[in-house]
A and B are shown apart, each in its own frame.
Chain A
Amino acid sequence: MKNVIDVKHLTKSYKSNKAVDDLSFAVKEGEILGLLGPNGSGKSTTMNCILSLLKFEAGEIKIFGKEMAPDAYDIKTKVGVVFQDVAVFDELTVYENIDYFCGLYVEDKATRAQYVEDALKLVGLEENKSQYPKQLSGGLLRRLNIACGIAHKPKLIFLDEPTVAVDPQSRNNILEGIKKLREDGATVVYTTHYMEEVEILCDRVIILDHGKIIASGTNDELKALAKIEEKVTIEIPDLAPEKLAGFDKIKNVSEVEYDNGILKIVYRKGKNNLIDMMEYLKENMIQYNKIFSERPTLNDVFLELTGKELRD
């Protein structure tokens, strides 16, 4: 598959603060690439540089094989952007907003009318098309924001934290919509600090911190970077201190924490972890209720690589 975006050695500073530091990456046609990082890690700045909205000190940006510039209209025709902040006209209805922004790309009225209807359907706003933005809930407003950005059926879509402060129903709708866009052939660059969304959506993830790539790969590749294998949570209403100390001695256990009847065990990489733990419970006749086992998350990867949480 060919590259839709090529970024080489991109560097951008805000005064003395380096927001993007010698960043290089590529986005392949048809994939959903996640740009994951905490607030201030350079995700939005990277996106705005790619879109030629921001000046940058060094680097080369190509989209569809051509150099991106403010007047690269042939490239812009194929690009759609959903910004983090809602960017619609309060004075226009839902339909008019989508029609207006779509009209900046598509001149033919009949085609545009169909595109607007498709966008309304994609984000589930068919019943709200006569309403004004102020009449919409936060979640519906976000959906409108997305519809305005993708109505012209772009081949490359940038989504900058599109689910910030939305209700679960709208979030699901948005994520489903993004999957649908990819199914229709679009390449998607998805910036977020919600690791769960990245895990659900993205084929490949780039983790940013302080404007640098600290890791990249598929979800599984990134999780393989984590030193932990799994996290096990067990409900044990009553656990004697000497029995608690015994958990530390089980093979591959790296951390043990017991609080308020909940035992949390973190395992290093290794085999038969759960079996060893079950045997210990049985041997020591420890009464337990439920057991949960979790695989490491991207947050664990980030924590290991940077020493801080993604949401810090």
Chain B
Amino acid sequence: MFWHNYKYALKALCKNRMLVFWTTIFPFILAILFNLAFARLHDYDVFEPFNVAVVNDEAYQNEKVFSEAFKTLGEGDEKLFNIEYTDKDRAEELLENGDVDGYVYVVDGKKKVKIKENGTNQTVLTMTTEQISQSAKIIDDIAMSEIAKSAGQPVDVVAIYQNAVKVVTEAEPNVKDESHVMNVVSVEFYSLIAMACMQGAMLSCEMMNRCMPNITNRGKRVAIAPTRKGIIVASNLLAGYTMLFVSIIALIFFTRFILGVEYGDNIPFICLLAAIGGLTATMLGMFLSVILKTRESLKNVIIVVVTMLGSLFAGMFGAMKMFFDEMIPIANKISPVGLITDGFYSLYYYEDMTRFYINVISLVVISILLFVFSIRSLRRQRYDSI
């Protein structure tokens, strides 16, 4: 019975054009678009430094790690930017006149970029600022953690910071080194893989709807069949997960071997995290499908909103991760999207795999909890209305 249902669930799923597009084809399209967008980063012959301004006020100078790191991008033969340090009014004027492609400034400790139009230079400036900002935050975190470990003993703060910078810069090769540029690109593809994992929520919601009599007519038919609900649910979810897993693995190999994205030695870990992340997303979709007592279309919208919000918190759409880490620290600690992206970031930033495995284990635990809760809710269920 399990394999009978699995076979047809998978068959129906593979022929569902809408789902196949959003879960399988769409991430591939994004991967190709990313690749086109970042193509210039690979080509150093055509990559010329461009003009940017920096609002060199007190707020900027207070961000020592960030400002030092940014400064290096305007130095040397292979510099990324021609940096002009100035005040805000002048920076605004330069931007208005088209003399710079954007300017960087700091407000309340937050690093911001102002651009006038969209283009490759603007993307590079925004991405690089975000990258340095994240690195600076990590350096701060590492240093603070070392200071905390001293338990009141006198510490050499400068030495600790220097060591933290060393740790990060060793994990993150010199910014002008080609491999680093590749890594910057890799991080964007990590986000893409994480997003592809989250499509599992949509898939599993669809698969759950098929066995819920209060949502679909097919669900009614399945509910009156003499087959245990657990078998139907498990085989449906496995079908959805099979499709998701194949799509994600295909995406990873497509980006690595067709688009040439450099993941270093991380591919097995990326595959592992993607597999676990996809499983968690699948369980999340199941859980939401069970607890949301509403019609199918609204349920799908809610699931998209939840996963997109999770993605936003997790920084998949820009530099929001740090902002939400500060505003709602718990969000990314329990959010599956947050854990998936953090797992990928930890692959990028840390030699030590502890943080990666903590994320993996957290995802497994969350998956189990979501599954158990959902199954308990589904057992012997009768409805108020269908």
Chain A residues whose C-beta falls within 8 Å of the C-beta of B217 in the assembled complex:
83, 85-87
CA distance A51 to B224 in the complex (A): 7
CB<8 Å pairs between A and B, sample of 29: A14-B384, A48-B386, A53-B220, A53-B224, A53-B386, A54-B382, A54-B386, A55-B383, A55-B384, A70-B223, A70-B381, A71-B228, A73-B228, A77-B226, A79-B224, A87-B218, A87-B221, A88-B218, A89-B218, A91-B11, A91-B15, A99-B8, A100-B4, A103-B4, A103-B8, A104-B5, A104-B226, A104-B227, A105-B225
A76 contacts chain B at the CB level, 8 A cutoff: yes
Chain B residues whose C-beta falls within 8 Å of the C-beta of A91 in the assembled complex:
11-16
Chain B residues whose C-beta falls within 8 Å of the C-beta of A103 in the assembled complex:
1, 4-5, 8
A273 contacts chain B at the CB level, 8 A cutoff: no
Is the Cβ of B226 less than 8 Å from the Cβ of A70?
Answer: no
CA distance A55 to B214 in the complex (A): 12
CA distance A256 to B344 in the complex (A): 86
B380 contacts chain A at the CB level, 8 A cutoff: yes
A294 contacts chain B at the CB level, 8 A cutoff: no
Chain A residues whose C-beta falls within 8 Å of the C-beta of B382 in the assembled complex:
52-55, 70
Chain B residues whose C-beta falls within 8 Å of the C-beta of A20 in the assembled complex:
none
Chain A 84-126 against B: per-residue CB contact (8 Å), 1 yes, 0 no? 0111110110001001110111010000000000000000000
Give the distance to chain A from B69, nearest Cβ to Cβ, in Å: 53
Q: CB < 8 Å: which of A83, A89, A107 contacts B4?
A: A107
Closest B residue by C-beta to A149 = B221
Chain A residues whose C-beta falls within 8 Å of the C-beta of B11 in the assembled complex:
91-92, 96
A277 contacts chain B at the CB level, 8 A cutoff: no
Give the number of A-B contacts (CB < 8 Å). 90
CA distance A87 to B16 in the complex (A): 16
CA distance A88 to B15 in the complex (A): 14
B249 contacts chain A at the CB level, 8 A cutoff: no
Chain B residues whose C-beta falls within 8 Å of the C-beta of A226 in the assembled complex:
none
Is the Cβ of B216 less than 8 Å from the Cβ of A87?
Answer: yes
CA distance A100 to B8 in the complex (A): 7
CA distance A77 to B227 in the complex (A): 9
Chain B residues whose C-beta falls within 8 Å of the C-beta of A69 in the assembled complex:
380
Chain A residues whose C-beta falls within 8 Å of the C-beta of B224 in the assembled complex:
51-53, 76, 79, 81
Closest B residue by C-beta to A107 = B1
Chain B residues whose C-beta falls within 8 Å of the C-beta of A259 in the assembled complex:
none
CA distance A74 to B226 in the complex (A): 7
A148 contacts chain B at the CB level, 8 A cutoff: yes
Chain B residues whose C-beta falls within 8 Å of the C-beta of A54 in the assembled complex:
382-386
CA distance A91 to B224 in the complex (A): 22
B271 contacts chain A at the CB level, 8 A cutoff: no
CA distance A88 to B11 in the complex (A): 14
CA distance A123 to B4 in the complex (A): 24
Is the Cβ of A70 less than 8 Å from the Cβ of B380?
Answer: yes
B222 contacts chain A at the CB level, 8 A cutoff: yes
Closest A residue by C-beta to B217 = A87
Chain B residues whose C-beta falls within 8 Å of the C-beta of A149 in the assembled complex:
221
Closest B residue by C-beta to A72 = B226
B200 contacts chain A at the CB level, 8 A cutoff: no
Chain B residues whose C-beta falls within 8 Å of the C-beta of A86 in the assembled complex:
217
CA distance A53 to B227 in the complex (A): 14
Chain A residues whose C-beta falls within 8 Å of the C-beta of B383 in the assembled complex:
53-55
Is the Cβ of A101 less than 8 Å from the Cβ of B221?
Answer: yes
Give the distance to chain B from A304, nearest Cβ to Cβ, in Å: 32
Chain B 368-386 against A: per-residue CB contact (8 Å), 1 yes, 0 no? 0000000000001111111
Give the distance to chain A from B99, nearest Cβ to Cβ, in Å: 57
CA distance A208 to B217 in the complex (A): 24
Give the distance to chain A from B19, nearest Cβ to Cβ, in Å: 10
Chain B 44-77 against A: per-residue CB contact (8 Å), 1 yes, 0 no? 0000000000000000000000000000000000
Give the distance to chain B from A94, nearest Cβ to Cβ, in Å: 14
Decide yes or no: A14 and B385 within 8 Å by CB, A51-B224, A53-B213, A79-B224 being known contacts: yes
Chain A residues whose C-beta falls within 8 Å of the C-beta of B221 in the assembled complex:
81, 83, 87, 101, 148-149
Chain A residues whose C-beta falls within 8 Å of the C-beta of B5 in the assembled complex:
100, 103-104
Q: CB < 8 Å: which of B8, B218, B380 contacts A96?
A: B8
Chain A residues whose C-beta falls within 8 Å of the C-beta of B1 in the assembled complex:
103-104, 107
CA distance A89 to B217 in the complex (A): 10
CA distance A149 to B221 in the complex (A): 8
Closest A residue by C-beta to B14 = A91
B residues 1-38 near A (Cβ < 8 Å) are 1, 4-5, 8, 11-16
CA distance A105 to B382 in the complex (A): 21
Chain B residues whose C-beta falls within 8 Å of the C-beta of A52 in the assembled complex:
224, 382
Is the Cβ of A87 less than 8 Å from the Cβ of B226?
Answer: no
Chain B residues whose C-beta falls within 8 Å of the C-beta of A55 in the assembled complex:
382-384
Chain B residues whose C-beta falls within 8 Å of the C-beta of A53 in the assembled complex:
213, 220, 223-224, 382-383, 386
CA distance A85 to B215 in the complex (A): 13
Chain B residues whose C-beta falls within 8 Å of the C-beta of A14 in the assembled complex:
384-385
CA distance A81 to B226 in the complex (A): 12
Is the Cβ of A104 less than 8 Å from the Cβ of B386?
Answer: no
Closest B residue by C-beta to A85 = B217
Chain A residues whose C-beta falls within 8 Å of the C-beta of B381 in the assembled complex:
70
B residues 217-250 near A (Cβ < 8 Å) are 217-218, 220-229
Q: Which of A48, A51, A101 has the most CB of B within 10 A?
A: A48
Chain A residues whose C-beta falls within 8 Å of the C-beta of B13 in the assembled complex:
91
Additional A-B contact list (6), CB under 8 Å, known A53-B213, A54-B382, A92-B15: A52-B224, A53-B224, A70-B223, A83-B221, A96-B11, A105-B225
CA distance A74 to B225 in the complex (A): 10
Give the distance to chain A from B194, nearest Cβ to Cβ, in Å: 28
